[in-house]
Chains A and B, each alone.
Chain A
Amino acid sequence: MNCEVCQLKELEVEHFEIREVLRCILHTIMFHRALGLVRPKDVDLQLFDITYVQCGDVELEKKIDEKIDQFLCWVEKHPNKKSQICLSFYEVKNNKAMWFSNRVERLYWEHWYINFNVVQHPKAHSSKSHHSKVVDPGENSSGGESARRTTLEASLQDVLFQIIRFVNDKKDHIPSIPSREGISFPYDITIPSSSDTTFGMDMIKRMLQTGHPTMLS
Chain B
Amino acid sequence: MNSASELGRLEQIVSQFLLKTLHIILESRIPSLKPQDHSEELPSNSRVKRSNKWFNLALGDRPAALENLHFWHRNLMDPMVIDIIVVHREPQSQSQSNSCGRVALEGAATETVIERWVIQYENLRVLPVQSGDFSSSYKKTYKKSIILLRTIYSVMRLLPSYKLFRHLTSSSQISKYDVIYKVSSFSNPFSREDEQTMKQYSFVPVEAVNGRLCVCVTYRSVLSDFDLESSASFPPMIIADYVGSPTTDPMRAFPPPERGIRATSFPIRGTTRSPSSVPIHRPHSWSSGIHGAAPSFQDQPLGGSPLVHRGSYIPNDFISSPKNIQGPRIQNYRLPSSHYKTSSFDDQLSPPFSPASSPSPSPPAHLLSNSPNQSRLRHESAPLAIPQPILSRSLRYMSPNFSDPNRHSLPPVSSRNTKPEPSMQESPSPSGIGTSRKSEGLWPGELYSGMASQSFGSKVCRDGKEDSGRFSGLLSSGSSPRVGFSRSSSRSFQDDLDECDFSCPFDVDDVDTSDSLSSQNLDARKGLEFTSSALSMGRKSQDAAVGALVHMLRTAPPLRQGSSCYSTQSLKGEQEANLGTASGFFTPQKAADALEELNSYREMKDLLLSKSRTLSS
Contacts and interface: CB of A to CB of B under 8 A. Distances in A.
B585 interface: no
A49 B234 CA distance: 7
B361 A180 contact: yes
A153 B233 CA distance: 10
A133 interface: no
B557 to A, nearest CB: 22
5 closest cross-chain pairs (CB), A and B: A57-B364, A168-B204, A39-B366, A39-B58, A37-B363
A187 interface: no
B147 A46 contact: no
B57 A40 contact: yes
Interface string B468-496: 00000001111111111110000000000
A102 B182 CA distance: 60
Interface residues of B, number: 58
Interface of A: 23, 28, 31-32, 35-44, 46-47, 49-60, 146, 149, 153, 157, 160-161, 164, 167-169, 171, 174, 176-177, 179-183
Nearest to A146: B235
B53 interface: yes
Contacts of A23: 476
9 contacts: A37-B53, A38-B56, A52-B157, A57-B364, A59-B364, A160-B154, A167-B147, A167-B151, A177-B349
B360 A46 contact: no
A142 to B, nearest CB: 10
Interface in B258-282: none
A144 B609 CA distance: 47
Contacts, number: 146
Interface of B: 38, 41, 43, 45, 48, 53, 56-59, 143-144, 146-148, 150-151, 153-155, 157-158, 162-163, 166, 203-204, 206, 232-236, 345-349, 360-361, 363-367, 372, 475-486
Nearest to B479: A42
B127 to A, nearest CB: 17
A171 B157 CA distance: 22
B486 A53 contact: no
Contact of A32 (B147, B204, B367, B479): B147
Nearest to A160: B158
A53 B149 CA distance: 13
Contacts of B348: 35-37, 177, 179, 181
A38 B147 contact: no
Contacts of A42: 157, 479
Given A43-B476, A58-B365, A37 B162 contact: no
Given A60-B364, A176-B346, 4 more contacts: A35-B56, A41-B366, A167-B147, A171-B143
Nearest to B485: A46
A163 to B, nearest CB: 8
B158 A179 contact: no
Contact of B483 (A37, A46, A51, A57): A46
